């Protein structure tokens, strides 16, 4: 077992991710909502359908947009986190852009149609990996929202959109499933990994992260393609072999997340 800087001893195996619990429709007003717990990190992801596309979109646009916002709630950290009332600060903006990029990587915006979706990711409790947990939670909420928009006749295949002017278009179960998979061909999830005294650990909580010589965030789609890899040496460097080991650990962990996502949404 790795020797920690703070004398902390890990309680999980190197490749063992934290306990995950998912509650769908935690809040009733959102198009979809997910309360997502990964260990002691807790995120509420809510999807809202906006009234119109962003102002910078062409008026006759046939494609949609997916946006994300991220916030740490005041009591999410051990000392009160001040609300960002005058706009998101640098770190928050960086995470919002990462979450949004990750979600759009899993969505075909043309197949979505002229629909704008906003996903709010509010961290209720922070114990490491909040941006990764937000991406994974938002991915679940986004698929559920798309599924509901299809069921409501709002999100339709391109060749059926003209029919919607005469009333609600009802798709067969097979057509709805096919269109869902056209709009969102892949799931998306993220995990943090780290190098601690030469050993690779997956799913870093605060204690592991604060002891890591190298930490990395990995975002992937379910067809095993990378959206983003963010790796940083904390007063340390790492070799190409260690980089490969970090990525391999992250891929194995994310496969577990995809299995959980699929199981939750199948219920």
- Tens digit of each residue's pLDDT (9 = 90 or more) over 225-245: 999 999 999 889 999 999 999
- Tens digit of each residue's pLDDT (9 = 90 or more) over 88-99: 677 789 999 999
Residue spans per domain, the chain: 20-266
- Tens digit of each residue's pLDDT (9 = 90 or more) over 205-223: 999 999 999 999 999 999 9
Token digits of residue 4: 């920690």
Measured CA to CA, the distance from residue 75 to residue 133 in angstroms comes to: 17
What percentage of the chain has pLDDT greater than the value 90?
Answer: 80
For 1, 32, 117, 165, 206, the CA distances from 195, given in Å and listed in that order, are 12, 36, 37, 56, 14
β-strand partners of 116: 65
Measured CA to CA, the distance from residue 67 to residue 62 in angstroms comes to: 17
Name the architecture of domain 20-266.
2-Layer Sandwich (3.30)
Q: How confident is the model at residue 253 (pLDDT cuts 50, 70, 90)?
A: very high
User: Which pLDDT score, from 0 to 100, does residue 160 have?
Assistant: 81
Measured CA to CA, the distance from residue 161 to residue 155 in angstroms comes to: 8
Q: Which residues of 179-211 are buried (b: 16+ CB within 10 A; e: fewer)?
A: bbeebbebbbbbbbbbbbeeebbbbbbbbbbbb
User: Which pLDDT score, from 0 to 100, does residue 87 have?
Assistant: 64
């Amino acid at each position: 077992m790795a020797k920690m800087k703070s004398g902390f001893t890990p309680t999980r195996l190197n490749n063992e991710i934290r306990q995950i619990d998912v509650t769908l429709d935690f809040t009733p007003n959102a198009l979809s909502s997910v309360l997502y717990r990964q260990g002691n990190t807790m995120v509420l992801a809510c999807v809202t359908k906006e009234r119109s596309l962003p102002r910078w979109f062409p008026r006759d646009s046939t494609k949609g947009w997916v946006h994300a916002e991220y916030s740490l709630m005041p009591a999410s950290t051990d000392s009160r986190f001040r609300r960002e009332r005058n706009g998101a600060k640098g770190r928050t903006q960086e995470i919002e852009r990462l979450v949004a990029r990750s979600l759009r990587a899993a969505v075909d915006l043309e197949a979505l149609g002229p629909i704008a979706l906003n996903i709010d990711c509010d961290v209720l409790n922070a114990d490491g990996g909040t941006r990764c947990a937000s991406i994974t939670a938002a991915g679940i909420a986004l698929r559920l929202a798309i599924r509901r928009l299809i069921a409501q006749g709002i999100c339709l295949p391109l060749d059926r959109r003209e029919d919607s002017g005469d009333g609600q278009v009802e798709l067969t179960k097979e057509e709805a499933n096919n269109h869902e998979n056209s709009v969102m061909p892949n799931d998306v999830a993220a995990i943090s990994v780290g190098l601690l005294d030469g050993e690779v650990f997956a799913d870093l909580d605060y204690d592991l992260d604060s002891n890591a010589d190298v930490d990395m965030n990995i975002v992937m789609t379910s067809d095993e393609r990378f959206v983003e890899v963010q790796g940083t040496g904390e007063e340390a460097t790492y070799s190409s072999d260690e980089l490969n080991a970090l990525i391999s650990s992250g891929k194995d962990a994310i496969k577990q997340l995809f299995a959980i996502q699929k199981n939750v949404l199948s219920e």
